Amino acid sequence: MGDQKKYSKVVERQMVRFYCSLNERDRRRYAAIEAGKLGHGGIQYISGLLRCDRKTIARGMNELNEEQELAKHCIRKSGEGKMKANGRTPNIKG
């Protein structure tokens, strides 16, 4: 791959900022998606850009290829989140 750049410096900075805002699981999956988009040399480039191990990217790729792995990990636990409407409407005077 050599000194060949894949993305501009502006895009690289955005990618790093976004990567740092993610949790661990989402970081490896994001890195895997970016590496996969680049094809040959992508893992090495993304690993250096995001400062993550190549094994981490490989693990993310494996997770993305396993549909069950993606489906079983929800951000919110069962029963959490927005409350359901109970059919009551507050008295609103206009």
pTM for the complete prediction? 0.69
Domains contained in the chain, number: 1
Examine residue 91 and state whether it is found in any structural domain, yes or no: no
Q: Which residues contact 45 (CB under 8 A, 6 or more apart)?
A: 1, 6, 35, 38
pLDDT band at 67; cut points 50, 70, 90: confident
Query: What is the distance between the alpha carbons of residues 60 and 28, in angstroms, rounded to a whole number?
Result: 5
Among 4-8, 37-41, 50-54, 67-71, name the one with the lowest average pLDDT: 67-71
Examine residue 52 and state whether it is found in any structural domain, yes or no: yes
Q: Residue 66 is part of which domain span? A: 9-71
Query: What is the distance between the alpha carbons of residues 12 and 72, in angstroms, rounded to a whole number?
Result: 31
Examine residue 63 and state whether it is found in any structural domain, yes or no: yes
